[in-house]
Amino acid sequence: MGARCSKLSLCWWPSNLKSNLHDSSDLENGSTDALPGFREFSLDQLRAATSGFCTDNIVSEHGEKAPNVVYKGKLLEEDRWIAVKRFNRSAWPDSRQFLEEARAGEERLLVAEFMPNETLSKHLFHWENQPMKWAMRLRVALYLAQALEYCSSKGRALYHDLNAYRILFDQDGNPRLSCFGLMKNSRDGKSYSTNLAFTPPEYLRTGRVTPESVVYSFGTLLLDLLSGKHIPPSHALDLIRGKNFLMLMDSCLEGHFSNDDGTELVRLASRCLQYEPRERPNAKSLVTSLTPLQKETDAPSYVLMGIPHGTASTKQTVTLTPLGEACSRLDLTAIHEILEKVGYKDDEGIANELSFQMWTDQIQETLNSKKRGDAAFRAKDFPTAIECYTHFIDGGTMVSPTVFARRCSCYLLSDMPQEALGDAMQAQVISPDWPTAFYLQAAALFSLGMNNDAQETLKDGTNLEAKKHRN
């Protein structure tokens, strides 16, 4: 999983990647500071979590046009939201290099904790409701410096192409650093994807990234935080040398910061952007310089950011019936027990007009199939129950939404969610206002990884339930 720093966390988890971020001796000695090993996910797991990499789940700022697309998904077994970064082949053309780092084969995927509150780029350059407050900008700078110091202390001082897109905000509004930049090496010569004007000068000369290169990129981020724009370092340094640093400041911040604080941050940015790498501060020095500048330290980040606390709830906020609750948890045993207990009372009023000829020639066999199916359902012999209920349904002489519901439950317990969804939908066709049909659809949708649709279907079932009780 992701490696958490003291304040600003590393949030990317590589799919099919063994961790090389920790010293195994730390783990053996039980050190609480040791970085946890990375998890492996199967491609099927990630397909299910993202509804088959559905375009509706794309959260990349440039959508499908992004060179490497990020999908929102949910690991059902853990009730955890994730982000899945999917690389196209041209983005990482050397498959041997990727295999060395991720052992991922044809699919190039990285898995991360989902960050619901966008990137620093979004909040600085493309804000809609309010510009980022000065206190929050200072906090981002400090947390980022702490993260880089932490990584350096763990032997991971190199970070490739540090920029405002690599900093994301979690549900509490705290900034997080994508650890993808810790993994990629520079042999492809393309470690810096930003405009060359923002690239460390030594990288342009040698094609290699050093810890001092990371500090240079940190300096460009300080300029972003100061100005609310992406200003080329050369232009910024010209303004600083001419003592026109106030021209660097974001006009939206006017009156909200002291000149002394602004001057100190400009000085720090200038030191980070020195042409000679040896003249730049190290990460520990950055933390020391930024700590005394912090403002409103008791205010939570989400307050400073002006965002709701936490992500929008993915849980049903209204009271669910026991069946609805079981379906929301995908508790298949409870679903089976509830359907068995309820029996066929909800079939009352379903029209089954039968001719005398049908009764004498066919109905007895149909009823026997249903009876055998019910016995198998009670005995939890789900393959037999499916077979008998199918015989009843195919007979076509009677319709029963409960039979479809029971067969749906059998399909779920037999790991056949697509068939289960079909039965739940058929039960709804027969009985359009039956909450059970909607609840079971939700369970099937959860099984298929279609979580947003499942939540909406749960709401529909709950609304029908409430309407029924009002009447």
State the CB neighbour count (10 A cutoff) for residue 461.
27
In whole angstroms, give the CA distance from residue 36 to residue 128.
Answer: 37
Mean pLDDT, range 10-14, rounded to an integer = 41
Q: What is the pTM of this model?
A: 0.56
Question: What are the tens digits of pLDDT across the range 175-216?
Answer: 998 766 665 544 444 556 556 778 899 888 888 888 999 999
Per-position DSSP letters for 322-391, written without gaps between them: HHHHHHHHT-HHHHHHHHHHHTTGGGTT------HHHIIIIIHHHHHHHHHHHHHHHTT-HHHHHHHHHH
Question: What are the tens digits of pLDDT across the range 224-282?
Answer: 999 998 888 988 888 888 777 778 888 888 888 888 888 899 999 999 999 999 999 99
Cβ density class 40-53: b for 16+ within 10 Å, e for less = ebeeebbbbbbbeb
Whether 161 is catalytic: yes
Residue 6's pLDDT band (boundaries 50, 70, 90)? very low
In whole angstroms, give the CA distance from residue 334 to residue 416.
Answer: 17
User: What totals of helices (H) and strands (E) does the chain contain, helices first?
Assistant: 20, 6
Residue from 161, 250, 346, 374 carrying the catalytic annotation: 161
Mean pLDDT, range 283-290, rounded to an integer = 95
